[in-house]
Structure 1
């Protein structure tokens, strides 16, 4: 990857329209403009991951023009799809760098960029960036390396969650069932969905539960709510009866939960093809009545999911519930994240102060208002606290419909849930807010809050091992006891032994015994 010397234009031309959204604000560079000499606008390129719910950037975007005017820059934005960090890495490896980049953190790529000097410390530029300075020197002080901040790490999902168990409420109503509260009730409800033909098409073509494959390099966690119900105490690791840190699949709750999941799989209650589905595919199957239950995020997605369902099934209704409890009343769903979105300034920036000020703008109230609402009098009007959205004008600049935001509002330095942002036009606002209230009660703690260097280096390899073995344990290709033992061996051989050593040291350093 590092030997590739493709230019931005060649890279864009070689990517499919589905995997890269074309940049806005591109133009030929006038001589001497790059460093922002005098009053000449500084040409600034921003490469970032997008948001699945966002619209594409539009030509002659007035929000980009307004940012240009306020910051005296000439902004070019290049967006890759949400979670497509590999495309970010390819772009950086090409050597034709943007001024500002957003990617995943912590990660091997960011660590390498720091070592190679591809991204630069922000410390010298914090005097003119009060929002950025306050966040980095406050709650994020621990992210400094030898006192230097190499970017802004936005960590989501620490105190608030929107990850829930979702279901076809109209089907449960038809079958006379209440939302399941225990694992036993969930099992019987899934069986009813599969066996009692709730969609009324006379075909046995409906599964009870559907999920999707994890993001590249991540472990499959969609079924973890079953293990939490059986008493798995942490979202990352576990401890054995001697207090040693072990992988969570070696905790007794894993074997107990796996027994339930294998039974569900044998009874065809789980869609067996889940490991090849991405999230949009999973949702489409839910909309098309191919499954009655799924896991996934809500909050702002309540209207999107129910609206999409009702486009296919006008009488369809979305339901959601807390994760089911196990025999001892235990339950859990989401895990506190150790991952962040990392926005940094690269060595390409001839005016790194301007680049840092752009990050400040994305974080500031001024920037948030512009990206969420637009330009007052053009994209919206305000009387007191009431906001009226001019949808026809907003559409011209890529704002998502129904009062939602500009394409670069999310997916770089914040998400709507962390801003508690919902437009006043949100038709299901009470349910959206309630879904966060429900989900946030069941966030599982981590044994270790910080991701170690060993996890960064070997995490992808051990997760691939886990995912492979989990699928074969689930579908019965492996004996449970033998499979878990072999999983432990292979996991450790793939780097898990080094991970456990590093995690144990971090655990003891922070007071663990």
Structure 2
């Protein structure tokens, strides 16, 4: 932060005119409007803008224009200077910046499993922010689970990017359910019966046996397998007991039950027989073309699936389900959490941020980025320019090209993505967002997410191939249970046992 601006720490929030431009939901601001009056000068004047540099990741082809940036700067009373790093080269660029100490007041770190990033965080290069978060209303609202998941060796070296904690579920052709007189399934057994009916009872009415139940892809994480695993009580990557003993998910009964379920789908023909080699794009295209009626994945994929079906399956209706269990008991409801809802950190290097006064100014800035007003700006743009909103704050984009140029590049920079009242007008997307927020209550976290294992860093991907290959072979009937367990033993002998012991030691160090 520019030292000439140190004394100008008071924040000038936006005027009533700007609040209107920010989307018309000033009454919903999380601390924003309350601070507007406090940020005015004692004699009715305004404070000068504070200069803030931000080393950030760009997920679009080009950086945004200044149109929305100017409004964000007005609201936060900041003069923001972005240094954009293309997403495709972020690992190399971030590693170089860390090594050369060529950083900024705020640094976006999204690759927390990168050894250079973790070593830099542990070295004391960045401020530990835990003692300060509760001084700011939006930062104070960050849950302890989120803070723990984003910590390194028990210390939080930045403000976590808060993503949807658990976004997956089951998307089903409702028009096919209705045609066959079937109810929306609530158990895995009922889901299998739907898959069987979609395969055998001609749901599209063309007189041919050319449909199947599930349309899946070659991905045991983001495809059907891990979500179905949640329904059978499989832990999220790792389970840990009260004594701190760690068990990998593939060594649990829930994992075996999930493999058995997938094998039954495969053997019965209720899933595309080439799922083990199907790419995501082909999976979605096949579903949109009416070749299957069940899709397991991110609930917000429903809108894309419906759009892909236009002109091909115009009668397609979809229903999203997020409360399936294997037992039929509501108390057994669970869904795995992707990255524990953590998208990285907004970190503050001590080389640039010299003292607590500067740190708190930056934390105040991030706090204000999490207001409803700035969320609206970074998500939809300026009301009347980029979008219109009805009385319920449902948004319709006016000009998609303009929005993509001036607004979309900011989306990945939002410190928090959930819990805001302004929303997309599309009813399917609204329902998906509702179910995703509901999922958070049942999300199963990975207890090893923030922990460190040198062996896992060095060999984890290679060792995981042993389990992935064995899982596919079991489902496809090329391997029995004893052979699968033999592959687990091979995983342990090849380094897996060291991963377990290292994770257990790391867990006990932060949970004495």
TM-score (norm 1): 0.69
In the TM superposition, residue 176 of structure 1 has moved relative to its aligned partner by 2.4
Listed one character per residue, the Cα deviations across residues 276-329 of structure 1 (whole Å, up to 9, x for unaligned) are 55544432322122321111222x555444344345311101112245443675
The unaligned stretches of length 5 or more in structure 2 are 1-47
Q: Which runs of structure 2 are paired with 1:67-106 in the superposition (5 Å)?
A: 67=72, 70-80=77-87, 87-95=89-97, 99=104, 100-106=107-113
Q: Does 1:419 align with 2:419?
A: yes
- Flag the structure with higher helix content: 2
Question: Does the 8 Å contact 1:229/1:329 carry over to 2?
Answer: no
Equivalents in 1 of 2:142, 2:253: separation in Å?
Answer: 40
What is the match of residue 62 of structure 1? 67
Equivalents in 2 of 1:276, 1:421: separation in Å?
Answer: 40
In the TM superposition, residue 465 of structure 1 has moved relative to its aligned partner by 2.7
Equivalents in 2 of 1:325, 1:429: separation in Å?
Answer: 24
Q: Which runs of structure 2 are paired with 1:296-315 in the superposition (5 Å)?
A: 296-298=297-299, 301-315=301-315
What is the match of residue 182 of structure 2? 177
Equivalents in 1 of 2:480, 2:292: separation in Å?
Answer: 28
The unaligned stretches of length 5 or more in structure 1 are 1-38
Change (3 A) 1:375 1:246: closer
Equivalents in 2 of 1:315, 1:276: separation in Å?
Answer: 29
What is the match of residue 56 of structure 2? 47
Equivalents in 1 of 2:210, 2:197: separation in Å?
Answer: 13
What is the match of residue 453 of structure 2? 454
Question: Does the 8 Å contact 2:57/2:90 carry over to 1?
Answer: yes
Question: Does the 8 Å contact 2:186/2:323 carry over to 1?
Answer: yes
Question: Does the 8 Å contact 1:61/1:397 carry over to 2?
Answer: no
SS across alignment from 1:407 = helix
| CA RMSD of superposed structures (Å) | 4.6
Equivalents in 2 of 1:492, 1:60: separation in Å?
Answer: 52
SS across alignment from 1:315 = coil
246-255 vs 431-440, which moves further: 431-440
Equivalents in 2 of 1:337, 1:162: separation in Å?
Answer: 8
What is the match of residue 120 of structure 1? 126
What is the match of residue 409 of structure 1? 411
SS across alignment from 1:197 = coil
What is the match of residue 191 of structure 2? 186
What is the match of residue 396 of structure 1? 402
TM-score (norm 2): 0.69
In the TM superposition, residue 89 of structure 1 has moved relative to its aligned partner by 0.9
Equivalents in 1 of 2:118, 2:376: separation in Å?
Answer: 33
Q: Does 1:465 align with 2:466?
A: yes
SS across alignment from 1:314 = coil
What is the match of residue 254 of structure 1? 255
SS across alignment from 1:409 = helix
SS across alignment from 2:410 = coil
What is the match of residue 367 of structure 1? 374
SS across alignment from 1:88 = helix
Listed one character per residue, the Cα deviations across residues 215-260 of structure 1 (whole Å, up to 9, x for unaligned) are xxx8567324544555x363333589x9964323232343344233
Listed one character per residue, the Cα deviations across residues 119-167 of structure 1 (whole Å, up to 9, x for unaligned) are 633659979x946864689776655668964322234445xx4321111
Question: Does the 8 Å contact 1:120/1:150 carry over to 2?
Answer: yes
Listed one character per residue, the Cα deviations across residues 410-438 of structure 1 (whole Å, up to 9, x for unaligned) are 465222xx224552633347634553476
Equivalents in 1 of 2:437, 2:151: separation in Å?
Answer: 32
